[in-house]
Structure 1
Amino acid sequence: MTTILVTGGTGTLGRLVAERLRGDGAEVRVLSRHAQPYAVDLREGTGLDAAVEGVDTVVHCATTLRGGDDRAARHLVEASRRAGVRHLVYISIVGVDRVPLGYYRTKLAVEKTIEGSGLGWTVLRTTQFHDLVVEVLRNAARLPVMPLPAGVSDQPVEVAEVAARLAELATGEPSGRVPDMGGPEVLPFAELARTYLRAIGQHRRLLAVPLAGKAYRGFRAGGHLTPERAVGKVTFEEFLAKRLPPRA
């Protein structure tokens, strides 16, 4: 039986990837900072050799906004080499090479580390998950006037669909950089906000806020979008209908 290690396996994406792989008959190890028996902080690397011993494929979903993803990737690659891991699969973000945001730059650096690792590798870039867009809109809706980045659209994708694609890639052969995966619709943030407000039964005045900086210009130019790869099925409105409780 194939043994697959999923890093970040208790997170939003990693948990679904692990469930999907188990359903497909794989033996799955879940690695996270607190999940026993493979509780490993990848940024430190302690205990990582035991986690990857006997593993055929690693699906690398672990990430943090607090920094250190590049160091974590180096530790994971080194341990995978020592263990003879055959295939390393990495989830990245559409636009990491086009939008000069710090977090995106780090994701791109991780891609390059994996590409140069000497391991068999696969990298999938996707657009932002529905869950993240909801989080952004929920925070904005706490104010009487809802601020939104002027001129920016998004292309949210369903995380379960991404998990299914990653599981498919993990059980296949190393494929290098595979085609991007985007949600079914590219929508202005104002339209996403109106859809969200309708779903929660609230009203807010929307305020388009121009921002400064190269990253914002990259988002305005659509560097984070992949309309030619709108392969996701679940729309933002459908996601909200399933996720949010029905209004009384």
Structure 2
Amino acid sequence: MTTFLVTGGTGTLGHPVCERLRAAGHEVRVLSRHAPPYAVDLRQGGPLLDRALRGVDTVVHCANIMRGDDQAVRNLLDAARRAEVRHLVYISIVGVDRVPLPYYKAKYAAERLIEQSGIDWTILRTTQYHDLILRLLAGLAKPPVMLIPKDVPDQPMEVTEAAERLAELAMGEPAGRAEDMGGPEVRTLAELAAAYLAATGKERRVVEVPLAGKAYQGLRDGGHLAPEQAVGRVTFEEFLKSRFGAEAGTEADSSPTDDSKPTGP
């Protein structure tokens, strides 16, 4: 039996990772800012972090820290070295080295810190999760007109499939950069928006809006996609059906005007 510490273990990705590791018979400790007994803010570290890592074989770093991620990774690595952790597994995002979004830059910097840490490591990059796209579209659908970034594709995937792969990697030997993992389809945001509207019964006009900047251009160019690693099985329509219990996406082919897709992990 291996002892794992999963950071962000109560989150959208971390929770199913914990479930899979426990189902395989391993001891799993959950580290989260608000979840005793290891309620730790990684940006601050401290003695409780050292206690959480005592006797841990493998760390799976799933915590999603929007600001201060570099310091959080430094604190985690320092404590992991003191605890003589054998293997550190990190979830990252496809395109962190190609799309100059601030959050992507921070994730890429975290990757490099891990690679130079002296701890054996595995890094898995995935495309964005269905849950993120759902939150994005729900926000954009609040006004009567959905304003969508123009000409940006996306390749969303089911988070539990990412969790399954991440747990598999964590239970194996350190692999360095694992093969990227992407959703089953590259879609336009207009198609995704149409599927969302059909699933929820909302009526909105979808309008594409051109943006400026290198980050937007990187997204338009598909820097965040992994079409050659389209290993995900669950489509966005299937995800919506599981959430809303309807035949989601039946109107996708007659999608409103234009569309695109945003960013995120």
Q: What TM-score range do you get, normalising by the shorter chain?
A: over 0.9
Q: Which residue of 1 aligns with 2:37?
A: 37
CA shift, 1:202, in A, is 1.6
Per-residue CA distance 1:161-217 (angstroms, 9 max, x = gap): 000001000000000001000000000000100011011112211110011111001
Percentage of pairs with the same residue: 66
Q: SS of the residue aligned with 1:163?
A: helix
Q: Which residue of 1 aligns with 2:101?
A: 101
Q: TM-score, normalised by structure 2?
A: 0.92
Per-residue CA distance 1:125-184 (angstroms, 9 max, x = gap): 000000000000000111111111100011001000000001000000000001000000
CA shift, 1:18, in A, is 0.5
In structure 2, what residue type is equivalent to 1:127?
A: T
Q: SS of the residue aligned with 2:172?
A: coil
Q: Which runs of 4+ in 1 moved over 4 A?
A: none
Q: Which residue of 2 aligns with 1:86?
A: 86
Describe how 1:31-180 pairs up with structure 2 within 5 A. 31-46=31-46, 47-65=48-66, 67-180=67-180
Q: SS of the residue aligned with 1:217?
A: helix
CA shift, 1:38, in A, is 0.6
Q: SS of the residue aligned with 2:13?
A: helix
In structure 1, what residue type is equivalent to 2:59?
A: V
Between the aligned partners of 1:125 and 1:92, the Cα distance in structure 2 is: 4
Superposition CA RMSD, Å:
0.9
Q: SS of the residue aligned with 2:36?
A: coil
Q: What is the number of equivalent residue pairs in this alignment?
A: 246
Q: SS of the residue aligned with 1:28?
A: strand
CA shift, 1:246, in A, is 4.2
Between the aligned partners of 1:137 and 1:41, the Cα distance in structure 2 is: 30
Give the unaligned 5+ runs of structure 2: 248-265
In structure 2, what residue type is equivalent to 1:168?
A: E
In structure 1, what residue type is equivalent to 2:244?
A: L
In structure 2, what residue type is equivalent to 1:222?
A: G
